[in-house]
Structure 1
Amino acid sequence: MTDLAASRVLAIVSNLGVEQDDLKLPVEHLCNSGALVSIAAPKLGSVHTLVDGRSGENWVADQTLDEVSEHSYDLLLVPDGTVNSDLLRTNLCAQRIAHVFAATHKTVAAIGHAPWLLASSKLLNGKSLTSSQSIRPDLENAGGNWVDEPVITCNTLEWRLITSRGQEDLSFFIETIDATLSKLSDSRH
């Protein structure tokens, strides 16, 4: 297992409609690898997840989106969930967070419908990415170059974007996040 003890990850979510495994599996993997992971949502407290449209586990947001200090983190994780993604893309605090990560040359990792936030934040012009097929037109209209691959890493515009189509590609998504944080950790030593 990779040692990510020096890594700090911020997961941003809405308080409902998050796809359970797209939050749970990356967060558990990162924590088990030693990374410090914080979850931010519009409100403190419960984050209600979904599994196949039914109620899933509840997670806890340890800070609100407006309290986030973006400079304290190495990577921004934005999990899937159609409701989650739809709520985040119109949230000005979530948009600010995405902008700060891009402006400070940090990595943003988004899966499924989560790249909607980046489209609404006007961060996709010139970026190659993948996502849930259903939002492809929105991402292309926002200037993104959509590719049908399990995971895409794009380093153009001086910030790294990791995207994945959805839950079927979650293992590739987690591997890519892991490798990115591992390289960052190695460069610090």
Structure 2
Amino acid sequence: MSSTLEGRTILLLSSNFGTETDEIRGPLAALREAGATVTVAAPETGVVTTLERDRDPGPEVPVDITYDSATAADYDALVLPGGTLNADSLRTDETATALVRSFATDGKPVAAICHAPWLLVETGLAEGRRLTSVPTIRTDLTNAGAQWVDEEVVVDDSGGHLLITSRTPDDLDAFHAAIIDALC
């Protein structure tokens, strides 16, 4: 096991249902393999019920804490996995959006994949930033003032805190590498 991120703490924010399987399990495994302590936070204790390609049941992921007990001060970065249902649920939740904003206010990296940049729209963090996402939410991002590009991963440090965005599960290796690079 690599210890690149030894001593680093990362919060992975999810709903309890509908998170894309690869987009939660992939970052969780890659960041832990790199030595980080990764905490999975969701609205309720228990598990995150994942979906594969937004429709087929996937494996469950244990929830470590409820996100209303998480604070940005306790973590070095925030990871937002996608999944249409997950991202749609989180972007309408005031506790989740407040937590995302607090990471940005504290100048900490926020990494979002696939549909998760919807949270950047909802929190006002997309405006003026260069981002990518699953193409189906491109219009939402551009309407929020972002410059959308079709690249596997985009790292934007123009707004006082780092935003790392990626398109789909196909881009997870580049997504993980960008998060690890940002925290080294």
Tell me the TM-score normalised to structure 2 length: 0.96
Verify the 8 A CA contact 1:45 1:61 in the aligned structure 2. yes
Cα shift at 1:2: 4.9
Q: Give the paired residue count.
A: 182
Q: Deviations over 1:86-114 (max 9, x none)?
A: 00110111111111111111000000000
Runs of 4+ in 1 over 4 A off after TM superposition: none
Q: Distance in 2 between matches of 1:3 and 1:149?
A: 26
Aligned equivalents of 2:19 and 2:100: distance in 1? Answer: 18
Q: For structure 1, which segment, 82-91 or 57-66, has the greater mean C-alpha deviation from structure 2 after superposition?
A: 57-66
SS in 2 for 1:134: helix
Instruction: Give the structure 2 partner of residue 185 of structure 1.
Output: none
Equivalent residue number for residue 95 of structure 1: 97
1:30 alignment partner in structure 2: 31
8 Å CA contact retained: 1:11, 1:38: yes
Map 1:68-147 onto structure 2 (within 5 A): 68-147=70-149
CA distance in 1, matches of 2:131, 2:30: 23
Q: Is the 8 A contact 1:2 1:178 kept in 2?
A: no
C-alpha deviation, 1:60, in angstroms: 1.4
Amino acid at match of 2:79: L
Q: Higher helix proportion, which one?
A: 1
Aligned twin of 1:186: none
TM-score by length of 1: 0.94
Identity %: 41
Q: Aligned letter for 1:88?
A: L
SS in 2 for 1:157: coil
Alignment RMSD: 0.9
